[in-house]
Amino acid sequence: MQEEIAAMIKNTAAQVRARDFLWAAGISAGVGVVVLIGAGADWRVALFAWAAFLAALAVRYRLSSGRAWAQPVQRVVDMELGAQQAELANLRIARGVAMALPEPLFILDSNGVVEHANPAAEALAGATNLEGRHFASVIRAPDVFEAAEAVIETRDTKTVDFVTTGSVELSCRAFVAPLWTDEAEPPAPARRSLIFIRDLTSERRLEQMRADFIASASHELRTPLASLLGFIETLRGHARTDPEAQEKFLSIMQSQAERMQRLVADLMSLSRIELNEHVPPKDIVDLRKIAGDVVDSFAPLFERRGAIVDLVADETMSARIAGDHDEMFQAIQNLLDNAIKYGGDPAMIKLRIGAGAAPAVAGDGEPGQRAGDTASQIAARLGLSVDDLIYVQIRDFGPGIARADLPRLTERFYRVNVERSRKSGGTGLGLAIVKHIINRHKGGFQIESVMAGGTAFNCYFAPAQARAAA
């Protein structure tokens, strides 16, 4: 680049010298003609003098190289190039800093069009190549865009809290500021705004988790605590000398204490999952292996309850997904435990792992009642075909669930039969935990049931290859 500029300057200097030579020759010839006419001098003398002048001028131009003529211009150009290179170096450093930031950063022009977006911003928007798109089409946050417009006009920095829409809501705070710092007001097309976004989801979830935990624990622990206090008072009273009553009451107290222990454990588990629900897992796990491990760990319980579990896994497909091993183990474990408790006596359970849409409960008979998204809806949300989905289905052959109860099964502490749930040791949190685990894994959850025909819980996931490509 610099060699090209130097050659261009040298050629320009040569053209200037040639033009100056022609002008000097013309002016000196005109002067000679005037002298000849006015003074009547010998034309041969004037011609000789003019020729001698041109020869001296040619020698002067010949001996002065183009480099000498170009040096002043070259110095000016070198200074400008040095300043531009320093500015470009600063811009590269600034761009490198922006690209390395773990938080989303956008730079908008005066019309709200994205001129720069770092990788964290692309991750927030769920798309790439954001440059050239209007900010309103990148993130649905009207308050943030209005703040960017106001900053362009007033040069006052603004802070805006907003919530993103999607499968998992994110609570964010945007810092919006003008991008010029000099006192001179640039023309409108040159004005830019910077938007820096912080993800406050963890902090908000932690605050909500504390409030929910206190409310839930105080509500659910009230009954077993009251029961324990009543039995303690009885044991200290008239049952003090009655061994048979003591044994009975202590057994009930142990059952109530174990129930409280399960409740606290489930509440802590649910709170932990909700806290990290917005952070997708990075590990690759095999659902087929996890399901086999869960079935093996439940073998003593199956034998004690007389339950029959049939694990059917398609060996020709890959069951690998981007997921958290412990959470997927817990989700399948909760669904199996639920099927054992409510799938009949003894329970008949089929655990399937396959690709595409999970088999319907009804088969060719009367269609079942459903709650949650269908396989096609989940596939469309994930940008896949239905055949690409991986499903885990836990199906029982129990009495089924009424249509009115299906949509509420994943609510905290919701029980179709409260008395039966408490007798079986349920806390009302198992399906809520499963729903939040599946949400964290960007999957889908559907419940299908037929009265007197059983219930199926279908969990859908994107394969590991599709998640990696996304």
The residue to which tokens 């976004």 are assigned: 197
Residue 170 has pLDDT above 70, yes or no: yes
Percent of the chain exceeding pLDDT 70 equals 69
- Same domain, yes or no, for 48 and 142? no
Which stretch of DSSP H or E encloses residue 256?
A: helix 243-275
Per mean pLDDT, which range of 301-310, 350-359, 421-430 is the poorest? 421-430
Task: Tell me: pLDDT of 70 over 60.
Answer: no
Q: Is the pLDDT of residue 69 over 60?
A: no
Rounded average pLDDT over 274-282: 79
* 219 and 366 fall within a common domain: no
Find tokens 């943030």 and name the residue. Answer: 144
Domain presence at residue 57: yes
Q: Which of the four pLDDT bands, split at 50, 70 and 90, describes residue 266?
A: confident
* d(C-alpha 165, C-alpha 27), whole Å: 80
Residue 166 pLDDT > 70, yes or no? no
Is residue 194 a contact partner of residue 106, using CB atoms and an 8 Å limit?
A: yes
CATH number at residue 125: 3.30.450.20
> Is there a single domain that holds both residue 284 and residue 268?
no
Domain residue limits at 235: 204-279
Return the CATH number at 430: 3.30.565.10
For residues 253 and 363, state if they share a domain: no
13 pLDDT tier (thresholds 50, 70, 90): low
Report if residue 95 sits inside a domain.
no
Looking at residue 438, its pLDDT comes to: 92
Q: Is the pLDDT confidence value at 238 over 90?
A: no
Which of 63, 87, 111 terminates a domain? The answer is: 87
Q: Residue 233: its pLDDT value, please?
A: 83
CA nearest neighbour of 307 among 351, 346, 350, 352: 346
pLDDT in the model for residue 206: 72
One-letter amino acid at 314 equals D
Q: Do 325 and 451 reside in the same domain of the chain?
A: yes
Kindly report the average pLDDT of the chain as a whole number.
79
Q: Kindly state the average pLDDT of the residues 356-378.
A: 81
Q: Taking a C-beta distance cutoff of 8 angstroms, is the pair 331, 434 a contact?
A: yes
Q: How confident is the model at residue 40 (pLDDT cuts 50, 70, 90)?
A: low
277 pLDDT band, cuts 50/70/90, is confident
Least confident span in 14-23, 171-180, 200-209, 298-307: 14-23
Q: Which pLDDT does position 250 carry in this prediction?
A: 85
Claim to verify: residue 113 and residue 162 sit in the same structural domain = yes
In this structure, are 63 and 115 located in the same domain? no
Q: How many domains does the chain have?
A: 4
pLDDT for the residue 125: 82
| Domain annotation covers residue 92 | no
Beta-carbon contacts of 2 under 8 Å, excluding residues fewer than 6 positions away, are 81
Q: What is the dihedral of CA 57, 58, 61, 64, to 10 degrees?
A: -110
The answer on pLDDT for 14 being more than 80 is no
Residue 140 included in any domain: yes
Pair 134, 194 in one domain: yes
Domain of 253: which CATH number?
1.10.287.130
